[in-house]
């Protein structure tokens, strides 16, 4: 039986895009580190202490910023630029990078590593993360400045990342303004009691390290260097609609998205001691693993009032099929206190 606690997650998902240019006209934007909820204004007089400035090439098309965003631009039809800021550490680098990794179809990691970008004018540095999925790519820089965390993120087709990176780094090194002294960190509040789950682990499944998002993680030995991976991840709230989650998993297998009227027939619901569970089995239509082998995903969603539990088995299609019954029994064994 597994009886574990999972960490409370706070995620922030924020976007930024850049692309190459040569000798463009420049617009200068400046905002203070105190988040007033207003969009940046161009070329204001003297900067307030702790202000940040950036230069915007003329060919970027300005668009209305979204929630939490300071600015947003359309650089190319498939590329969007955004600059955002949140108070404090905004949930931490690991949570944000893993959220971006999920967006491009990559698995979560325990300690994401980035490239240090020195910002001499601010007497600090940003950390750049380059994420390449099958079709989508991200270049994202995280900057801690004063009592805020800034996100400069480029979303683009993966084929365009290389052509964007040089200009993106040049943009980052040009950020300037007033150096800010980070205030002392407040005393952390007492950690709340965290939800727990108990599970019966099938024979042949080996415990693995997984990531900080998982409360349980297992490896299923496979052939040809392709092992099965099992994860149990709790998310606060309802975790999104079943159709949205199914389409996210279908994208990972290079399957077309389902429409709203096609969804309900693609999954089943079973009763368990902890409540109704939605179970989904998917298989790719083309090879995605070594040896010209298709892939597959078996997944399940168990929703409680406060938490959505996600169970997922991924791997080579033959291995996933062999473990489908074990996976369903594993999910049915879940007991919540």
Q: Which range in 134-148, 162-176, 189-203 is most confidently predicted, on average pLDDT?
A: 134-148
DSSP-derived letter for residue 335 is B
Higher per-residue pLDDT: 313 or 68: 313
**pLDDT computed for residue 50 by the predictor:** 55
Average pLDDT, rounded, for the chain: 80
CB 228 within 8 A of CB 222: yes
Q: Please compute the mean of the pLDDT values over residues 10-37 and round it to a whole number.
A: 40
Separation CA 330–CA 327 (nearest Å): 5
**pLDDT computed for residue 48 by the predictor:** 44
- The answer to whether domain 7-177 and domain 196-332 are alike in fold is yes
Q: Please compute the mean of the pLDDT values over residues 10-16 and round it to a whole number.
A: 37
pLDDT digits (tens, 9 = 90+) for 61-118: 888 888 778 888 887 888 887 889 888 888 889 999 998 999 888 888 888 889 998 9
Separation CA 302–CA 304 (nearest Å): 7
Tokens of 233: 């991840």
Separation CA 289–CA 175 (nearest Å): 42
Entry pTM: 0.48
Residue ranges per structural domain of the chain: 7-177, 196-332
Under CATH, to which class is 196-332 assigned?
alpha beta
Weakest mean pLDDT among 44-53, 221-230, 242-251, 291-300:
44-53
Nearest to 107 by CA among 214, 198, 205: 214
Higher per-residue pLDDT: 183 or 8: 183
Q: Which range in 32-36, 221-225, 237-241 is most confidently predicted, on average pLDDT?
A: 237-241
Q: Tell the burial category of 109 from Cβ atoms under 10 Å away from its Cβ (0-12, 13-18, 19+).
A: middle
Given the DSSP bridges, would you call strands 268-272 and 196-199 parallel, antiparallel or unpaired? unpaired
Nearest to 154 by CA among 136, 140, 173: 140
**pLDDT computed for residue 18 by the predictor:** 35
Q: Is 268 a residue whose pLDDT tops 70?
A: yes
Q: Is 183 a residue whose pLDDT tops 60?
A: no
Q: Which CATH architecture has domain 7-177?
A: 3-Layer(aba) Sandwich (3.40)
pLDDT digits (tens, 9 = 90+) for 153-177: 988 898 888 887 887 888 888 888 7
């Amino acid at each position: 039986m597994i009886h574990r606690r999972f960490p409370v997650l706070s995620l922030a998902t924020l976007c930024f895009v850049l692309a190459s240019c040569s000798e463009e006209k420049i617009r200068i934007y400046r905002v203070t580190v105190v988040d007033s909820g207003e969009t940046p204004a161009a070329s204001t007089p003297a900067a307030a202490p702790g202000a940040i400035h950036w230069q915007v090439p003329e060919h970027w098309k300005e668009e209305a910023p979204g929630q939490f965003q300071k600015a947003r631009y359309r650089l190319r039809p498939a590329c969007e630029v955004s600059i955002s800021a949140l108070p404090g550490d905004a949930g931490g680098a690991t949570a944000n990078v893993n959220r971006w990794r999920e967006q491009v179809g990559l698995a979560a990691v325990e300690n994401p590593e980035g490239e240090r970008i020195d910002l001499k004018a601010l007497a600090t540095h940003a950390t750049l993360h380059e994420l390449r999925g099958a079709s989508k790519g991200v270049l994202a820089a995280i900057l801690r400045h004063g009592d805020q965390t800034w996100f400069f993120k480029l979303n683009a087709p993966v084929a365009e990342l290389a052509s964007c990176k040089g200009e993106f780094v040049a943009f980052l090194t040009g950020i300037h303004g007033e150096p800010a002294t980070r205030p002392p960190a407040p005393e952390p509040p007492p950690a709340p009691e965290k939800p727990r789950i108990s599970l019966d682990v099938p024979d042949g499944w080996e415990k693995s390290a997984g990531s900080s998002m998982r409360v349980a993680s297992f490896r299923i030995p496979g052939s040809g260097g392709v092992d099965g991976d099992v994860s149990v991840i709790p998310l606060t709230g309802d975790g999104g609609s079943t159709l949205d989650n199914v389409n996210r998993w279908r994208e990972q297998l290079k399957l077309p998205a389902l429409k709203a009227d096609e969804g309900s027939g693609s999954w089943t619901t079973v009763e368990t001691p902890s409540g109704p569970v939605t179970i989904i089995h998917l298989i790719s239509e083309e090879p995605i693993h070594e040896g010209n082998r298709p892939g597959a995903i078996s997944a399940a969603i168990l929703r409680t009032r406060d938490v959505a539990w996600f169970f997922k088995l991924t791997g080579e299609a033959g291995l996933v099929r062999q473990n489908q019954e074990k996976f369903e029994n594993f999910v049915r064994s879940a007991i919540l206190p």
